[in-house]
Amino acid sequence: MIDLVFGHYAVPYVPISHPFIERLIGTIRREFLDHVLFWNAIDLERKLDEFRQYYNDHRVHASLNGNTPMEASGHILRRQANLHDFRWKSYCRDLVQLPLAA
């Protein structure tokens, strides 16, 4: 039996996920989980928390006009970088490295 839910067909016992959540899960899988090994659930939670901090505080988003989510919410003001004085900062256990104004 198939039910019509919100204009889409729904199969019983299969949850209908929100499209934004599906996109987030895909992003986490492509950008993080496909590149990182973890030992157990505690290790995975710790690494996902590091990725969450990177994703919200440092990763720029095209849909936010090149801002991070924290900048878009008004919590962090963008500093002007001196392009002649920078260093590399690693995130997510050296999976991602970004230049940082020194």
Crossing angle of the two packed helices 19-28 and 41-57, in degrees rounded to 10? 110
What is this structure's pTM?
0.56
| All residues at 6 or more sequence positions from 47 whose CB lies less than 8 Å from its CB, including other chains | 32, 36, 38, 92, 93
pLDDT digit string (tens) for 58-85? 888 888 888 888 888 877 655 665 667 7
**Does position 91 have pLDDT exceeding 70, yes or no?**
yes
**Average pLDDT rounded to a whole number, residues 9-29:** 72
